[in-house]
Amino acid sequence: MTAVIEPHENENVVWHRHQVTKASRAQQKSQQPAVLWFTGLSGAGKSTIAGALEERLAELGYHTYLLDGDNVRHGLCRDLGFSSEDRRENIRRIGEVAKLMADAGLIVLTAFISPHRQERQLVRDMLPAGEFLEVFVDTPLAECEKRDPKGLYKKARAGEIKQFTGIDSEYQAPDYPEIHLPAGDASIAELVDLCLESLKERQIIRQ
């Protein structure tokens, strides 16, 4: 299934189709393009698990790229704050970048809280059916707060950070994620293995 390309509101901006296709890029890499969207609370382990999975995929010879929430705010999204509107725009931009990378034939891993189902659905709708894999890193709030690697929960509890997800801003857990990672007690290696098995079942990777 091919993603529908919506016409630009300016009639002078026209989508150009190139000779080298997405299918040929993927065939060259012996893999199926996909976007693995890691979502979960701050401190859930999204970036750690995504990074470990990317490392394993690289060892197996696959072509990947990891987009991390903090990293993109240093460049692509440095002009955005944390209002509801800015958070939605942050996710939209990342979705567009992930879509381009998937078009290049890559397996794209993203690690973002992305607390609202509507935002995640926005990215899903950008991609062909089966290419967006929602990965729910299901770590209980109490465990995330205990870890608090950046000290953000402590600041949120002290009122220094407003609208912090899980404290005074809602996190909407996925209803039907493609990959569910019960990350409270499992090891990183175990969670990576779960991801790899799911990718094999979906024939995104072969080994």
pLDDT reading at 4 higher than 50: no
Tally of CB atoms within 10 A around 51: 17
Where do we find the tokens 């078009």? 103
pLDDT band, very low/low/confident/very high, at 86 (cuts 50, 70, 90)? confident
What average pLDDT score do residues 85-97 get?
Answer: 88
Strand segments, DSSP code E, in the chain are 34-39, 64-68, 107-111, 132-137, 179-181
198 is catalytic: no
Catalytic residue among 114, 169, 187, 198: 114
pLDDT reading at 3 higher than 60: no
pLDDT reading at 93 higher than 70: yes
How far is residue 142's CA from residue 84's CA, in Å, rounded to a whole number?
A: 25
pLDDT band, very low/low/confident/very high, at 97 (cuts 50, 70, 90)? very high
Residue-level pLDDT at 54: 98
Residue-level pLDDT at 83: 74
Q: What does the block give as tokens for 145?
A: 């707060």
Residue-level pLDDT at 9: 67
- What b/e string do you get for 62-84 counting C-beta neighbours within 10 Å, with b at 16 or more? bbbebbbbeebeeeebeebeeee
Note the pLDDT tens digit of each residue in 13-41.
665 677 678 888 888 888 999 999 999 99
pLDDT reading at 124 higher than 70: yes
Residue-level pLDDT at 22: 83
Most confident of 11-20, 76-85, 163-172: 163-172
